[in-house]
Amino acid sequence: MTIQVKARHVDWKSVAEKAVSTFIQSFLSIFVLVDTSTIKGAATAGAAAALAVLKNAVKEWNGKVDA
């Protein structure tokens, strides 16, 4: 039995673009729908969304092993 390991390559430019766009979408969805007093909440939601994108990129990077 041999284990083939694929090259661990993540397109970080694509990950960064997804994280930024997800942050902007989440931030604006809260900021626009509510009022200007929700900037902290909007920033928190945006940061959580961006972290979710990064988590998926790391998960993909770690899953590059075929058994």
Q: pLDDT tens, 6-65? A: 556 667 788 788 888 888 888 888 878 877 677 888 888 888 888 888 888 777 777 765
- Which pLDDT band, with edges at 50, 70 and 90, does 67 fall under? very low
Does 34 fall in a domain? yes
Does 23 fall in a domain? yes
- For residue 30, the enclosing domain spans 13-62
Q: What integer pLDDT is reported at residue 66 of this predicted model?
A: 52
The number of folded domains in the chain is 1
Does 67 fall in a domain? no
CA atoms within 13 A on the CB side of 59: 6
Does 31 fall in a domain? yes
Q: What integer pLDDT is reported at residue 6 of this predicted model?
A: 58
